[in-house]
Amino acid sequence: MTHSIYVKIDKKRLKIMGKTLTEKIIEKHLIEGTLERGSDIAIKIDQTLTQDATGTMAYLQFEAIGIDRVQTELSVSYVDHNTLQSDFKNPDDHRYLQSIAAKYGIYFSRPGNGICHQLHLERFARPGKTLLGSDSHTPTGGGVGSISIGAGGLDVAAAMAGESFRLKMPQIVNVFLTGSLPDFVSAKDVILEVLRRIGVKGARSKVLEYTGPGIKSLSVPERGTITNMGTETGATTSIFPSDEITKEFLEAQERGDQWVQILPDEDALYDETIEINLGELVPLVSLPHSPGNVKTVKEVEGLKVDQICIGSCTNSSLRDLKISANILKGKTINEHSVLTVSPGSRQVVDHIITSGEMAYLIEAGARILENACGPCIGMGLAPKTDAVTLRTFNRNFLGRSGTKSAQAYLVSPETAAVSAIYGKITDPREFGTLPEIKMPDKFMINDNMIIPPKEGAESTEIVRGPNIKPLPEFNPLPDKLEGEVLLKVEDDITTDHIMPAGAKILPLRSNIPEISKFVFNLVDPTFPDRSLEKGGGFIVGGDNYGQGSSREHAAIAPKYLGLKAVIVKSFARIHLANLVNFGIVPLTFANKDDYTKIEQGDKLEIDLTTLESGTVALNNLTKSTEIKLDHSLSETEIAVLKAGGKLPFIKLKHSN
Ligand code: MIC
Ligand code: SF4
């Protein structure tokens, strides 16, 4: 199949309209479909990235596909999540990943080098390219004008094997920025403002494309902060044009030759517009336990803080650490608070050591952590019981910090640093004069912790530790699903609810039988045993089911426990794709009110013979009622489901 031409016409003036930036890049990569919103498209993927927590599974799947070498222009394997080594599991996984990278022609970023998104932005992301990453914050690459999308590990494995990536053509929202940011207000406040306006479901099936005169005042790392956390709005991705600012950044990274200008046409027609005057923004904060729960810092000022964490892929750039260091210069953090700093990359650390700014952080009392995700994913530094933890991160879901009773608030580095001095949430504008920071004209480049692919390494032996278990195999889909509702949940269930992370569970990412014991651990720890006992069954949920991370373990582990279908009001994009990839049928209520007609424990029967028609009938045997369900599955997705998941589907395709 090829694609036909799609043009947007201004109906009033009967004029063919120009293209958005997103349309231009997608059009260049279209393998199937058109730019018609909501239609099924397939795009070519130029680059991939994986991180260690999703990477082991992605590469086990890549191995199972049976290709000799990656087919992309560039694939990078990062190690940044599972860096706490409390036993052999994580280091074994690192060795596995390194041997896979060598064998299949993948760049390998060694543990300690930094956080995948920060590193990818610094060293690899390119304007006009497509990037698929097995991490939901892959859109950070949108900071340099790359279409960067988060996906499950299996989709990334398939892209490495040369398969195109399938999605629904998103709507394109013009986030039109004017003015420039006032002192003590930064890029984090811009994305918090977007979240304040549209919430955690507001940009599902949409791309947030930033335009307007205001973008000129934002550097690439600042743009990266905004596109990174755009994920929390449910957006497919977020993107900035590739302009003079992008050029400057790439030149400073000694990558000037990779710059190409890509701007939207002046008469580009957008599906929607959001206008933000940067000059009117104030410091903002997300309250527990949702990034969409945004208030002004003023509204919560004075709340005592026990822990302050600066870092994560959202706010760990050189700019962020410099501003934090200069605010903390000559000060001591409050005696009741602990401050942690996790830099985004060694480049950032090299700079702040050379400039002396690292000393300001250390002298103020900051605990300097590894260049890794760290406390963002509960990998160490869990806060104390009932703690208030103030973080420059992008997620504050219940329990994610490692302490269930902790209350996590999300803020900018400016708000975090000033609050650390006072020991309470403080509007940073009260600090007085904003310290001046000087950004380098050229970044310090040292790629010695990135091992490039070598020729002739195909015979490299793959090293597998005892915790790396073979992939479970799943059967083709039957015509009828029967079983019990194992769990009924509310709206906005995150993948952190379904498959928690943290220092104890993350090391089990390459061991499905073991990790499945923690499915829904924070919601109902009896779920795994009940599910196995009943021979599997169903989950019923509300809106935005599966928001948050790209972890496909939130699908594979429940599938391993026997989950057959998830019936909800609506899904988050990546989780929906992951369910399909592992043969769990994702269904939605044709009438949302029918959510009340099913209870936990009800026995259900679902007839799948009509799946192709777009609707199926659910028979609630306990209540003797029939409910109409529908779905958004494409023909290919139905075929994947029927084959028992994407891996058997691809294998079948390759064997034909
Ligand atoms: C996250 O921020 O939740 C993670 C950990 O980076 C995940 C990936 C994972 O679960 O490994 C993500 O955002 O996709
Ligand atoms: Fe790592 Fe946190 Fe970023 Fe996820 S959100 S990639 S855990 S720093």
pLDDT value of residue 11: 66
Atom of ligand 2 nearest to the CA of 116: 6
CA-closest residue to ligand 1 atom 13: 549
- The closest ligand to the CA of 400 turns out to be 1
> How much of the chain, in percent, has pLDDT values that exceed 70?
98
- The closest ligand to the CA of 229 turns out to be 2
pLDDT tens digits for range 97-119 = 999 999 999 999 999 999 999 99
By the 8 A CB rule, do 45 and 130 touch? Answer: yes
- The closest ligand to the CA of 117 turns out to be 2
Mutation pick for ligand 1 pocket among 49, 83, 119, 135 (CB with most ligand atoms within 8 Å): 135
pLDDT tens digits for range 63-82 = 999 999 999 999 999 999 99
When the candidates are 3.40.50.300, 1.10.10.10, 3.30.930.10, 3.30.499.10, the CATH number that belongs to 284-431 is 3.30.499.10
By the 8 A CB rule, do 228 and 139 touch? Answer: yes
Residue 340 pLDDT greater than 60, yes or no: yes
- Tell me how far apart the alpha carbons of residues 74 and 369 are, in angstroms, rounded to a whole number: 29
- State the pairing for strand pair 367-368/40-43: unpaired
Atom of ligand 1 nearest to the CA of 574: 14
- Rounded to an integer, the average pLDDT of 450-456 is 95
pLDDT value of residue 15: 74
pLDDT tens digits for range 500-521 = 999 999 999 999 999 999 999 9
Residue 525 pLDDT greater than 70, yes or no: yes
In order of 308, 321, 333, 341, the CA distances from 375 in angstroms are 10, 16, 19, 10
pLDDT band for 199, please (50, 70, 90 cuts). very high
Evaluate: CB of 377 within 6 angstroms of ligand 1. Answer: yes
Mean pLDDT rounded to a whole number for the chain: 97
pLDDT value of residue 265: 98
Atom of ligand 2 nearest to the CA of 549: 4
The identity of residue 353, as a single letter, is I
10 Å CB burial of residue 64 (0-12, 13-18, 19+) is middle
Residue 6 pLDDT greater than 80, yes or no: no
pLDDT value of residue 653: 77
CA-closest residue to ligand 1 atom 12: 549
Neighbouring CB atoms inside 10 A of 236's CB total: 25
> How much of the chain, in percent, has pLDDT values that exceed 90?
96
Check: CATH 3.20.19.10 for 480-655? yes
Residue 472 pLDDT greater than 70, yes or no: yes
- Rounded to an integer, the average pLDDT of 566-593 is 98
Tell me how far the alpha carbon of residue 598 lies from the centroid of ligand 2, in angstroms.
Answer: 36
pLDDT tens digits for range 161-185 = 999 999 999 999 999 999 999 999 9
Evaluate: CB of 372 within 6 angstroms of ligand 2. Answer: no
Tell me how far the alpha carbon of residue 33 lies from the centroid of ligand 1, in angstroms.
Answer: 30
Catalytic residue list contains 634 = no
pLDDT value of residue 13: 65
pLDDT value of residue 1: 42
**Structural domain spans, the chain:** 5-280, 284-431, 480-655
Whether 284-431 and 480-655 share one fold: the answer is: no
Atom of ligand 1 nearest to the CA of 395: 2
Residue 7 pLDDT greater than 80, yes or no: no
Catalytic entry in 549, 550, 570, 634: 549
Catalytic residue list contains 551 = yes
Tell me how far the alpha carbon of residue 44 lies from the centroid of ligand 1, in angstroms.
Answer: 24
Catalytic entry in 40, 92, 93, 135: 135
Atom of ligand 2 nearest to the CA of 117: 6
Q: Which residues contact 436 (CB under 8 A, 6 or more apart)?
A: 326
- DSSP annotation of 384: P
For 5-280, CATH gives 3.30.499.10
Catalytic residue list contains 29 = no
Specify the residue for token string 């543990």.
111
Catalytic residue list contains 391 = no
- Rounded to an integer, the average pLDDT of 544-572 is 98
The closest of 520, 588, 522, 600 to 553, measured between CA atoms, is 520
Tell me how far the alpha carbon of residue 247 lies from the centroid of ligand 1, in angstroms.
Answer: 30
pLDDT tens digits for range 341-368 = 999 999 999 999 999 999 999 999 999 9
pLDDT value of residue 16: 82
- Tell me how far apart the alpha carbons of residues 80 and 69 are, in angstroms, rounded to a whole number: 24
What is the per-residue DSSP string for 253-294? TT-GGG---B---TTBPPSEEEEEEGGG---EEEPTT-TT-E
Q: How far apart are the first and last CA of the chain?
A: 18
pTM beyond 0.85: the answer is yes
Evaluate: CB of 312 within 6 angstroms of ligand 2. Answer: yes
